[in-house]
Amino acid sequence: MTRIRVLSPVSAVRSENLAAPPLPDDWAGRTVGFIDNTKHNFDRLADELGALLRARYGVTAVLRRRKANAAVAAPPELVAELAQACDVVFTGSGD
């Protein structure tokens, strides 16, 4: 049977690789931030995890900031505020 050559419909990714800063070894006295993606219960999850981090690791402050809605990126000023004020920042992703 004859053969046919077809092109792939999948295109290539062009992206640079960025190194992620490592998490701190010692969390005592640190400030942890959460970006609330507004999905249901993320605020509660962040508060529960924040309380655990205070109790178990000596985290002293927990900041939670809420973006406008789940479908848009957090505004630059919110990101800048948390980057400035926090030692580690977690963001909610998906439902």
Partner 1 sequence: MKAGTPAGLIGTTAFQGLAVSELAALGVSGLPLLVVQHPLGGERPESVARRAHQALEQLTSLIGSPAAQDEIGRAAATRSSLSPPTVESALAALDTVDDPEAVLAEFVARQWCDGLPIIPPTEARVRALLGGAPPDRSLGPLPPLWRTATLEALAVNAVMAGCEPAAFPVLVAAVRAMLDPAFNLYGVQATTHPVAPLVIVHGPVAARIGVHAGSGCFGPGFRANATIGRALRLILMNVGGAWPGRHDMATQGSPAKFAYCIAEHVDASPWGPLRADDSVTVFGGEPPHNVNDHVSTTAAGILATVADTAVSLGSNVGWFLAQSQLLLVLGPEHAATIAGDGFSRTDVQRYVFEHARLPLRTLKLGGMWGMQDWPASLRAVQDDDALLPQVPSPDDVLVIVAGGPGKHSSVVPNCTFSRAVSRPVEPLT
Give contact residues for partner 1 (rule: CB under 8 A): 1-27, 38-42, 44-46, 48-49, 51-53, 56-57, 68-72, 79-80, 82-84, 86-95
Which residue in this structure is represented by tokens 């969390």? 27
d(CA 91, CA 37): 7
In the complex, the smallest distance separating the C-beta of residue 61 from partner 1, rounded to whole angstroms, is: 14
Q: Which of residues 53 and 61 has its CB atom nearest to partner 1 in the complex?
A: 53
Cβ of 60: how many Cβ atoms within 10 Å? 13
In the complex, the smallest distance separating the C-beta of residue 65 from partner 1, rounded to whole angstroms, is: 13
Q: Which of residues 65 and 82 has its CB atom nearest to partner 1 in the complex?
A: 82
* Position 32, amino acid: V
Q: Comparing C-alpha atoms, which of 87, 85, 91, 83 is closest to residue 66? A: 91
